[in-house]
Amino acid sequence: MPYRARAIRLAVVALLAIVYGRAEVAARTDTQVWHVTVALRIGDGHGRPVEVHVALPPETPAQRVSDVRIVDRGLKTQTIQGEEPEVVLSGIVRKSRRVAVSYTVAISAEEKTVPLIEPPEDPPLELYTEMSPAPLFPSRSILVREFLEENVGPVLAEGNRGVMRAIYNVMRRRFEHKTDGKSLPLDVLRRGHGQRIGLERLFTTFLRCARIPARFIEGAKLDSRTKRKRVFWTEVWADGEWWPVSVSRGWIGKRSNDLLALTYDGRRPVQVEGEATVTYTLQAHRRRGEQ
Amino acid sequence: MSKSSMRQRAPWSSRALVAGFILVLAPSAFAAPTVHLVPADDNALAIVTLIGRGLKDPVLLVDARDQATLSAAAAEWKGEVECYHRPAARRAVVDAMAAIADESCAAVADLAAAVHDLWPQPKTVVAVLEESYDWMLRGAAFAGATGAAILPLAPGVRFDAAALGAWTQVERVYLTAGVEVDPSVDPAKVRRLDTPTAVVDELKALVGEKLDQVVVVANAQDRLGTFSPSSLSLVAPLVSAMHKAPLILVSSAAGEVVEREVLAAIDTHALTASHIILVGDELALRSHRIPDPVLAAGGPEARGGGTIVRVELFSQIQNEQPQDFAVGRIVAEDAAQASALLARQQHRRNNRTQRPVVFLTNADSVFALGETISRATTRDLGNVGVSVRAYYRGEITPEIIRQTMLQTNVLVWEGHPRDLTLEERGGIAVDTAPEIAILQGCYTLDRSDPMILIEKGTEAIVATSAAIYSAPGSAFARALFDAVLYDDADLGIAVRNARNYLLALAQLQRLRGYNEWHKTFRAALAFALWGDPTLAIPLKTGKPSVKPVLWEASDDELTLSIPRQRMREVAVDNYVVKPVPRTMYGGLVVQMSDGKRRELKDMYYGVRRMSEAQKHVCLPDQSWGEVISLYAPRSRTLFVLARPEWEKYPDRKQHGTYRFRLGQDASICVGPTQPVGVGP
């Protein structure tokens, strides 16, 4: 084989290797597969019936769940699908016991260009809840409305940057994150600082007051070293889809592939009905070589 | 033949007579009023309809966003629903109105013709320029209070004889600022109202003594804003019409400006106002923002993080002066919801049947002292025959709260605040709400609840803008009911008297060297009334089973009679009280002989109209610890709080008649009974 021909072939192979290699790198950073385990310790239920609800991640375009497994140690288990999927563990607990719920989830990173978001003229009926007040989102409080009118109103009057961004910018400027701060929206509003959970709840509250559908997300930052890896952000509805925004961490439309959404609007990832106490940790590791 | 069979065989003539009565009475006595709908964003049509029909029939201003709420409101009267709009009305609003009315809406091409339909033969006409919102409000309020027709003129249109059209009996035409008159109009009939002062002067001249003791206040700038400004000023003329009261438009939302301008108007026109109705939310008519007195005195930060207290306008309590006026605020999220609120008040269909007052107290089981006072209050209510249903601690469940919303006209919540109206995950849990809600807890005005309660039918809410402690909170509620039960007070006066009670209590605590008097003072600052202060709490009372404390006044003394008989003991945890009806409490306690239980100290609070020469009160004798006298000069009302020192004189009887000498100042208190009150 002439030297030139071999050189060309090698060059083509090298080029293909580079192209495919880059593509693989890009895909790896885009979607990450995680193996997640919720390890629960259910305390003494005094021989009475106990029901433990463990939230499973909802299926969204950004996260796909598969391979749900439950190590139940004698409890009755039920997996419920739907908008708020969950595993329900029920039975009588006389002694403390450990239970594990594990699943695989593929999370796609999102880096969206979020449009200018204004209150929708005619929002769909199914968004009623995401526009309504709730105990954790006091969107019909006079304090909330007053804050918007006095602080966000002038920003909007300067030029239209979209109501959502105006609220976001004012919150970034006016509210401080404090790890020992408060978590309830009105407490944060009165003090001007709060925990991340409080800031996101207040952001959701402001958006709902401005008649923009918004939902509060509790999730897990899967590469975190904390026990529960709790993380919070907000999703804002516009143009028929939900856009991720975090006022407490300062991003709009950019969600990394280690952020797992677990529940909406204050629902707890683990809920107990009955007298038993339940503690849990969330463990996660990347599935290498999988996309 | 048995009696019952005789009844069954009642003569045909009797039955026919009854049927005849029903037929005769039916159209007038039982006819449901027609509900009228107009777009909330058409100021002129809205104002004309509110004034032309609002006193006789419910008028709802329609905002498309409130369609569901207004549909429910319109259905309350179970009558016909009609809707009107002008050709330029927005499609969404017209569709919403048609959906509520379940029929297509009538188009009003000619507003003047509609005005002629509303007032077929008026004797008085008020002409206003449609482009001048302020003057439309003033003119409409004037027209509503005097029974005149209001005629908005399109831009550039002069008032001419043709405007009178078929109105042949018009004797007087009032032209407001900016309206030009055509020579074709008989000058003898014309009178100009070019200034706000002229309007009030003329109103006073026309209505005279019938002019209610009410002043209505609004801010016409409340339509400006980005986040759905409430625009409540639009309904202010109807409030004026309901009360035959002058409407005062203020030039700014700032509390100081509002107070200055309104008081100047009251003084300029020598109005005998006892009640002030603020028509506007916190953005339109801002309350005073006072630094939290507990924090300012070095105390702990309030739970919830509040550093200021929103103190209602015209209360003076922040200056340690008693509240003089009865003040209430008409609040809603927009003019549409405010119109439903006023329609309910004016055309109440739910027959104020006597339903039990419901107390939901101490749901979190942490306020034993407040619960003790609250239980004593329910005893007082029961003592005069008021039906009460009270739930405490664990008895208070979401289901009980939901049932309560349906089953009472008066709801009293005492304890940590909760969202009574909300689903846990979002959405509203109730379809109806009690007429009156007293929300005695921290920051209860700040939550979503007040707005939702109003949307669902509540007409008045008494609540707080700060963190309050349970003892002064429950003491406030007790003083409020005391005013209603024994002084026949309306809601505005009851709230005023109860706030002044807390002010007097704070001053008494300070006199006794209690460091925590600021907590009581903060509660006095924090309570406010959302709703019409002239509303009565719907309670039917009877003769007391146990005689209450009685205050009587003469020229030179107040006499307090404390009966011997007391009601059954109330005991909650370690707190004990055995009250004579009308005895007041407020967190002052004395340790009992067993060293464990604590008895609440008796106090006595009286409110009487007195002259300037009777504004100071002396102690009756040495067995009394303190007496506080507060005097409100405009209403000439004396508020007296006296505390006996029974604990120092255990052998002395705790009943009898005590005389408190009255005078202009401290000099009248001579001898051993030195005045120790704090007053003006």
Q: Do B283 and A211 touch (CB under 8 A)?
A: no
Q: Do A129 and B427 touch (CB under 8 A)?
A: yes
| Min Cα separation B385/chain A (Å) | 37
Q: Does any domain span residue B624?
A: yes
Same domain, A250 and A153: yes
Same domain, B252 and B391: no
What ipTM describes this predicted complex? 0.90
Domain ends where: B530, B560, B580?
A: B530
Eight-class DSSP state of A137: B
- Is residue B317 within 8 A of residue B499, CB to CB? The reply is yes
**A138 vs B contacts (CB less than 8 Å):** 419, 446-448
Eight-class DSSP state of B382: H
Nearest CA in chain A to B333: A140
Q: Are strands B308-311 and B288-291 parallel, antiparallel or unpaired?
A: antiparallel
Whole-angstrom CA distances from B248 to B147, B187, B263, B275 are: 18, 28, 10, 13
Same domain, A116 and A248: yes
Q: Does any domain span residue A212?
A: yes
- Is residue A266 within 8 A of residue A134, CB to CB? The reply is yes
Between vectors from CA A85 to CA A84 and to CA A89, what angle results, nearest 5°? 125
**B333 vs A contacts (CB less than 8 Å):** 140, 145
Q: What is the dihedral of CA B344, B346, B350, B356, to 10 degrees?
A: 90
Residue among B553, B679, B659 nearest B616 (CA): B679
- Is residue B630 within 8 A of residue B639, CB to CB? The reply is yes
Q: What is the pTM of this model?
A: 0.91
What does the alpha-carbon distance between residue B309 and residue B318 come to, in Å, rounded to a whole number?
Answer: 10
What's the pLDDT tens digit per position in B428-451?
889 999 999 999 999 999 999 999
Same domain, B501 and B565: no
Q: Does any domain span residue A77?
A: yes
Q: Do B423 and A128 touch (CB under 8 A)?
A: no
What does the alpha-carbon distance between residue B186 and residue B175 come to, in Å, rounded to a whole number?
Answer: 13
- Is residue B374 within 8 A of residue B359, CB to CB? The reply is yes
Same domain, A98 and A217: no
Q: Do B426 and A148 touch (CB under 8 A)?
A: no
Same domain, B522 and B601: no
Same domain, A92 and A124: no
- For CA atoms A132, A138, B314, B676, give the dihedral sign: positive
> Chain B window 101-140: which residues touch A at a Cβ cutoff of 8 Å?
none
Residue A134 has its nearest CB partner, among B333, B422, B450, at: B422
Structure tokens, B444 = 């209860």
CATH number at residue B483: 3.40.50.1460
Nearest CA in chain B to A121: B65
What does the alpha-carbon distance between residue A81 and residue B173 come to, in Å, rounded to a whole number?
Answer: 72
Q: Do A134 and B426 touch (CB under 8 A)?
A: yes
Instruction: Average the pLDDT over A111-121 and give the result.
Output: 92
What single letter denotes the amino acid at residue A249?
Answer: R
Q: Does any domain span residue A261?
A: no
Q: What is the pLDDT of residue B348?
A: 82
Residue among A158, A190, A209 with most chain B CBs within 10 A, to mutate: A190
Domains of chain B: total? 3
Residues 6+ apart with CB under 8 A from B631: B322, B610, B612, B615, B616, B637, B638, B639, B679, B680
- pLDDT level of residue B352 (50, 70, 90 thresholds): low
Whole-angstrom CA distances from B592 to A253, B107, B564, B570, B601 are: 65, 75, 20, 14, 11
Helix axes B368-383, B470-486, angle to 10 degrees: 10
What's the pLDDT tens digit per position in B517-563?
999 999 999 999 999 999 999 898 999 999 999 999 999 999 999 99
Residue A190 has its nearest CB partner, among B304, B422, B427, at: B304
- pLDDT level of residue B353 (50, 70, 90 thresholds): low
Residues 6+ apart with CB under 8 A from B220: B133, B134, B137, B233, B249
For chain B, how many residues are written? 680
> Chain B window 318-337: which residues touch A at a Cβ cutoff of 8 Å?
331, 333
| Min Cα separation B171/chain A (Å) | 46
What's the pLDDT tens digit per position in B646-673?
888 888 889 999 999 999 988 888 754 4
Same domain, B467 and B360: yes
Q: Do A133 and B422 touch (CB under 8 A)?
A: yes
Q: What are phi and psi of A68, to 5 degrees?
A: -75, 130
Same domain, A46 and A164: no
Same domain, B505 and B573: no
Same domain, A157 and A222: yes
Same domain, A123 and A246: yes
Q: Do A145 and B227 touch (CB under 8 A)?
A: yes
Residue A186 has its nearest CB partner, among B228, B446, B452, at: B446
- pLDDT level of residue B7 (50, 70, 90 thresholds): very low
Which residue in this structure is represented by tokens 């800031």? A199
Q: Does any domain span residue B8?
A: no
Residue A265 has its nearest CB partner, among B281, B418, B425, at: B425
Q: Does any domain span residue B418?
A: yes
Residue among B226, B416, B430, B465 with most chain A CBs within 10 A, to mutate: B226
Q: Does any domain span residue B650?
A: yes
Q: CB distance from B282 to chain A under 8 Å?
A: yes
Q: Do B446 and A156 touch (CB under 8 A)?
A: no
Q: CB distance from B571 to chain A under 8 Å?
A: no
Q: Does any domain span residue B631?
A: yes
Q: Do B226 and A148 touch (CB under 8 A)?
A: yes
Eight-class DSSP state of B584: B
Residue among B551, B513, B515, B526 nearest B472 (CA): B526
What's the pLDDT tens digit per position in B260-318?
999 999 999 999 999 999 999 999 999 999 999 999 999 998 989 999 999 999 999 99
Q: Does any domain span residue A75?
A: yes
Instruction: Average the pLDDT over B381-400 and give the result.
Output: 96
Q: Does any domain span residue A81?
A: yes
What does the alpha-carbon distance between residue B183 and residue B500 come to, in Å, rounded to a whole number?
Answer: 57
- pLDDT level of residue B212 (50, 70, 90 thresholds): confident
| Min Cα separation B308/chain A (Å) | 9
Q: What is the pLDDT of residue B209?
A: 75
pLDDT at A281 over 80: yes
Q: What is the pLDDT of residue B351?
A: 57
Structure tokens, B638 = 């004396």
Q: Do A142 and B451 touch (CB under 8 A)?
A: yes
> Chain B window 578-597: which residues touch A at a Cβ cutoff of 8 Å?
none
Same domain, B520 and B583: no
What single letter denotes the amino acid at residue B353?
Answer: T
**B65 vs A contacts (CB less than 8 Å):** 211
Q: Do A142 and B423 touch (CB under 8 A)?
A: no
Residue among B458, B467, B468 nearest B438 (CA): B458
DSSP3 helix / strand / coil % (chain A, rounded to 5): 30, 35, 35
Domain ends where: B501, B530, B559?
A: B530
Q: Do A140 and B426 touch (CB under 8 A)?
A: no
Q: Do B448 and A191 touch (CB under 8 A)?
A: no
pLDDT at B354 over 80: no
- Is residue A80 within 8 A of residue A54, CB to CB? The reply is no
Whole-angstrom CA distances from B637 to B162, B324, B614 are: 53, 8, 10
Interface of A with B (CB under 8 A): 128-130, 132-135, 137-143, 145-146, 148-150, 152-153, 156-157, 182, 186-188, 190-191, 209-211, 265-267
**A55 vs B contacts (CB less than 8 Å):** none
C-beta pairs of B180-184 under 8 Å, 24+ apart in sequence: B182/B158, B184/B160
Domains of chain A: total? 2
B150-159, B205-214, B442-451, B496-505, range with the lowest pLDDT: B205-214
Q: Does any domain span residue B317?
A: no
- pLDDT level of residue B182 (50, 70, 90 thresholds): very high
Q: What are phi and psi of B617, to 5 degrees?
A: -120, 140
Instruction: Average the pLDDT over B12-25 and give the result.
Output: 49
Residue among A128, A132, A140, A268 with most chain B CBs within 10 A, to mutate: A140
**B430 vs A contacts (CB less than 8 Å):** none
> Chain B window 34-73: which residues touch A at a Cβ cutoff of 8 Å?
65
Q: Does any domain span residue B92?
A: yes
Report the percent of chain B where pLDDT is more than 70: 93
| Min Cα separation B62/chain A (Å) | 16
Same domain, A96 and A127: no
Q: What are phi and psi of A33, to 5 degrees?
A: -100, 130
Query: What are the residues facing B598 on neighbouring strands?
Result: B575, B591
What single letter denotes the amino acid at residue B172?
Answer: R
Q: Do B446 and A141 touch (CB under 8 A)?
A: yes
Query: What number of H helices and E strands is found in chain B?
Result: 19, 31
- Find the domain containing A37 and state its range: 31-106+270-286
pLDDT at A229 over 90: yes
Q: Does any domain span residue A13?
A: no
**A265 vs B contacts (CB less than 8 Å):** 425-426
Q: Does any domain span residue A12?
A: no
What's the pLDDT tens digit per position in A71-110?
977 889 999 999 899 999 999 888 888 999 999 999 999 8
Same domain, B43 and B116: yes
Same domain, B268 and B122: yes
Q: Considering only residues B674 and B217, tell me which one the structure prediction assigns the higher pLDDT.
A: B217
Domain ends where: B530, B559, B577?
A: B530
Same domain, A115 and A94: no
Q: CB distance from B443 to chain A under 8 Å?
A: yes
What single letter denotes the amino acid at residue A83?
Answer: E
Residue A149 has its nearest CB partner, among B225, B448, B451, at: B225
Residue B226 has its nearest CB partner, among A140, A153, A187, at: A153
- Burial state string for A22-58 with b = 16 or more CB within 10 A and e = fewer than 16: eeeeeebeebbbbbbbbbbebbebeeeebbbbbbbbb
CATH number at residue A231: 3.10.620.30
Q: What are phi and psi of B384, to 5 degrees?
A: -105, 20
**A123, exposed or middle or buried, with CB in 10 Å at 0-12, 13-18, 19+?**
middle
Q: What are phi and psi of B641, to 5 degrees?
A: -125, 125
Which residue in this structure is represented by tokens 């495919």? A20
Same domain, A247 and A281: no
Nearest CA in chain A to B332: A142
Structure tokens, B566 = 């007391």
Same domain, A83 and A130: no
Nearest CA in chain A to B308: A190
Residue among A145, A160, A178, A235 with most chain B CBs within 10 A, to mutate: A145
**B446 vs A contacts (CB less than 8 Å):** 138, 141-143, 186
Q: Are strands B436-440 and B460-464 parallel, antiparallel or unpaired?
A: parallel
Q: Does any domain span residue B248?
A: yes
Same domain, B604 and B519: no
3-state secondary structure A159-211: CCCCHHHHHHHHHHHHCEECCCCCCCHHHHHHHCEECHHHHHHHHHHHHHHCC
How many Cβ pairs within 8 Å bridge chains A and B?
90
**B228 vs A contacts (CB less than 8 Å):** 145, 211
- Find the domain containing B437 and state its range: 339-530
What does the alpha-carbon distance between residue B316 and residue B326 come to, in Å, rounded to a whole number?
Answer: 12
- pLDDT level of residue A6 (50, 70, 90 thresholds): low
- pLDDT level of residue A204 (50, 70, 90 thresholds): very high
Helix axes A163-174, A196-209, angle to 10 degrees: 150
- Cα A82 → chain centroid: 17
Q: Does any domain span residue A5?
A: no
Q: CB distance from B433 to chain A under 8 Å?
A: no
Same domain, A120 and A218: yes
3-state secondary structure B130-189: CCCHHHHHHHHHHHHHHCCEEEEECCCCCECHHHHCCCCCCCEEEEECCCCECCCCCHHH
What does the alpha-carbon distance between residue A165 and residue A250 come to, in Å, rounded to a whole number?
Answer: 11
- Burial state string for B67-103 with b = 16 or more CB within 10 A and e = fewer than 16: bebbbbbbebbebebbbbbbeebeebbbebbebbbee
**A140 vs B contacts (CB less than 8 Å):** 333, 448, 451-452
CATH number at residue A282: 2.60.40.2250
